């Protein structure tokens, strides 16, 4: 944003107490803001390390206070409404001067799917509560459709500013900012750019206090610089593995593992389990693939969660995703790491009978569900019942044979 001439607050990232102290001194006069750096929102509402008095965003009037707060944050985990219950570990804090502003604006550009074009959203109710405030009072939100153009007119921002009721001293700068943000949005293939809050100082000048940018994943092939920015160093091991394989994976807190193909079916699997009183341990959507090795990775990923007591596989074979690929992936995963929890398979669509016949001979503890309703109930019951005795005989050799034969054999 700085490159585009967008006014941002100067701040410094610190990864130790000493660096935090240095940063505070370097930034000059206080007071300062200390912000925990994690990849999730809701930081001002979150708690660090389970403590009641330490939030993810804190303020200090003294240099010493900055150091102390940084020391208490670093290495601890921050739990916010948008993280899991375990939270995310704080490996860095961001120190910046605290701005006392007249007005805090929420300003965003995102895609309006219904209209099929970018839209500018703005509200004078900026700050960490903005989502709640806007939901409570939808009329406080100003909307301006931006069309399919590469550059919007300054008049668009003028109109938004006047609808917000901004004073004349800041309207010009605001209109220019909206134009710059839109330029960035289009040039960098963003799906969201959001400044919250945008502070307006008493002299009318603007400064972005916090910003969030989401790059359109589908355009990363033509935005290499944004790809580098988007890579996350602090994902959990499982999330990183999932991202590497192109899986959509979200760990949850329950004990029923899930593996599906297709985001809709994966969500429906969670809904069906929750509806019957079960607790899903994860969301996992394996995109349609031909390679058995990727499916194997998906199984290893979901089975690596020590908290899962049973696993449901819900796949409707269609397109290039065939049920036998799922079956083979499971058998390969089992060779690498024996599966000891009960499995419920709901396989339908392309090559389902072939997959079922292969799995039936595998010796694994598998129940086959005729439909999703039955499968959801089976997998919940399996999670609640005491674990079955583990298979003690080795079937690895036979499995390997079957897989080889299957690969050479005809594909129906």
Partner 1 sequence: MSILVDESTRVICQGITGRQGTFHCERALASGTQIVGGVRQGKGGTSHLGVPVFDTVAEAIEVTQASASVIFVPPANAAEAIIEAADAGIALVVCVTERIPVLDMVRVRAHLKESNTVLVGPNSPGLAVPGVGTLGIMPQGIFLPGAIGIVSRSSTLTYEAVDQTTRNGLGQSACIGIGADPVGGISVSQCLQLFMDDDQTQGVALIGEVGGRAEENAAEFLSTLSSVKPVVAYIAGQTVPEGRRMGHAGTIVHYGLGTARTKIKALQDAGVRVVSSPVEIGSAMAESLGR
Binding residues vs partner 1 (CB under 8 A): 41-42, 81-82, 110-111, 113-114, 116-118, 121, 131-132, 134-135, 141, 147-148, 186, 189, 191, 216-219, 221-222, 248, 250, 252, 260-268, 270-272, 274-276, 280, 283, 285, 316-320, 348-350, 371-373, 376
Residue 166 or 272: the one with the smaller Cβ distance to partner 1 is: 272
The C-alpha atoms of residue 352 and residue 350 are separated, in whole angstroms, by 6
Name the nearest CA neighbour of 100 among 22, 24, 9: 9
DSSP state of 298: H
- E-assigned strand segments in 179-281: 190-200, 206-208, 211-215, 248-251, 256-260
Residue 201 or 279: the one with the smaller Cβ distance to partner 1 is: 279
What is the closest distance, in whole angstroms, from the C-beta atom of residue 371 to partner 1 in the complex?
A: 7
Residue with tokens 């696993």, as numbered in its chain: 311
Residue 98 or 216: the one with the smaller Cβ distance to partner 1 is: 216
Residue 70 or 238: the one with the smaller Cβ distance to partner 1 is: 238
What is the closest distance, in whole angstroms, from the C-beta atom of residue 21 to partner 1 in the complex?
A: 34
Residue 94 or 283: the one with the smaller Cβ distance to partner 1 is: 283
DSSP state of 193: E
Q: Cis omega (within 30 of 0) on the bond before 31? A: yes
Residues sharing a CB contact under 8 Å with residue 171, sequence separation 6 or more, in sequence order: 158, 161, 162
What is the closest distance, in whole angstroms, from the C-beta atom of residue 28 to partner 1 in the complex?
A: 36
Which tokens in the block code for residue 2?
């700085």
What is the closest distance, in whole angstroms, from the C-beta atom of residue 242 to partner 1 in the complex?
A: 12
The C-alpha atoms of residue 89 and residue 74 are separated, in whole angstroms, by 8
3-state class (DSSP) for residue 72 = helix
Residue 145 or 387: the one with the smaller Cβ distance to partner 1 is: 145
Find the helix packing angle between 372-384 and 263-275, rounded to 10°: 60
What is the closest distance, in whole angstroms, from the C-beta atom of residue 79 to partner 1 in the complex?
A: 13
Residues sharing a CB contact under 8 Å with residue 101, sequence separation 6 or more, in sequence order: 197, 199, 200, 201, 207, 209
In our burial notation (b when 16+ CB lie closer than 10 A, e otherwise), range 357-374 reads ebbeebebbbbbbeebee
What is the closest distance, in whole angstroms, from the C-beta atom of residue 55 to partner 1 in the complex?
A: 18
Please check whether residue 234 is in contact with residue 38, taking contact to mean a CB–CB distance below 8 angstroms: yes
**Residue 61: how many other CB atoms lie within 10 Å:** 11
Query: Which residues lie across from 12 on neighbouring strands?
Result: 95
Residues sharing a CB contact under 8 Å with residue 279, sequence separation 6 or more, in sequence order: 252, 253, 254, 255, 256, 273
What is the closest distance, in whole angstroms, from the C-beta atom of residue 319 to partner 1 in the complex?
A: 4
The C-alpha atoms of residue 147 and residue 115 are separated, in whole angstroms, by 9
Residue 184 or 207: the one with the smaller Cβ distance to partner 1 is: 184
Name the nearest CA neighbour of 195 among 184, 290, 280: 184
What is the closest distance, in whole angstroms, from the C-beta atom of residue 203 to partner 1 in the complex?
A: 31
Residue 204 or 287: the one with the smaller Cβ distance to partner 1 is: 287
What is the closest distance, in whole angstroms, from the C-beta atom of residue 116 to partner 1 in the complex?
A: 4
What is the closest distance, in whole angstroms, from the C-beta atom of residue 39 to partner 1 in the complex?
A: 12
Residue 264 or 389: the one with the smaller Cβ distance to partner 1 is: 264
Residue 60 or 83: the one with the smaller Cβ distance to partner 1 is: 83
Residue 242 or 364: the one with the smaller Cβ distance to partner 1 is: 242
């Amino acid at each position: 944003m700085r490159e585009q001439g967008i006014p941002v607050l100067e701040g410094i990232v610190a990864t130790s107490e000493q660096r935090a102290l240095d940063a505070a001194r370097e930034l000059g006069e206080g007071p300062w803001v200390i912000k925990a750096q994690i990849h999730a929102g809701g930081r001002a509402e979150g708690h660090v390390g389970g403590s009641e008095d330490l939030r993810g965003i804190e303020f200090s009037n003294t240099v010493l206070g900055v150091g102390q707060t940084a020391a208490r944050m670093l290495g601890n985990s921050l739990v916010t409404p948008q993280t899991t219950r375990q939270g995310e570990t704080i490996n860095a804090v961001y120190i910046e001067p605290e701005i006392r502003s007249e007005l805090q604006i929420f300003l965003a550009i995102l895609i309006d799917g219904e209209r099929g074009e970018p839209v500018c959203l703005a509200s004078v109710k900026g700050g960490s509560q903005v989502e709640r405030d806007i939901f409570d009072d939808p009329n406080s939100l100003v909307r301006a459709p931006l069309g399919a153009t590469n550059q919007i007119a300054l008049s668009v921002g003028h109109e938004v500013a006047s609808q917000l009721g901004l004073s004349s001293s800041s309207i010009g700068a605001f209109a220019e900012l909206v134009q710059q943000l839109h330029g960035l949005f289009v040039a960098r293939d963003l799906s969201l750019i959001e400044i919250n809050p945008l502070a307006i100082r008493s002299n009318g000048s603007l400064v972005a206090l916090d910003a969030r940018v989401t790059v359109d994943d589908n355009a990363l092939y033509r935005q290499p610089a944004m790809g580098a920015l988007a890579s996350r160093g602090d994902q959990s091991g499982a999330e990183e593995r999932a991202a590497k394989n192109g899986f959509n994976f979200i760990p949850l807190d329950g004990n029923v593992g899930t593996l599906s193909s297709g985001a809709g079916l994966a969500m429906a699997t969670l809904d069906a389990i929750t509806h019957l009183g079960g607790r899903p341990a994860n969301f996992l959507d394996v995109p349609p693939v031909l390679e058995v090795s990727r499916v194997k990775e998906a199984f290893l990923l979901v089975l690596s969660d020590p908290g899962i007591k049973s696993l449901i596989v819900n796949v409707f074979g269609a397109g290039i995703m065939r049920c036998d690929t799922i079956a083979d992936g499971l058998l390969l995963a089992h060779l690498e790491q024996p599966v000891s929890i009960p499995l419920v398979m709901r396989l339908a669509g392309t090559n389902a009978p072939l997959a079922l016949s292969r799995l039936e001979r595998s010796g694994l503890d598998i129940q086959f569900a005729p439909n999703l309703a039955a499968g959801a109930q089976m997998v919940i019951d399996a999670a609640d019942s005491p674990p079955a005795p583990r298979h003690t005989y080795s079937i690895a050799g036979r499995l390997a044979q079957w897989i080889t034969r299957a690969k050479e054999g005809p594909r129906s």
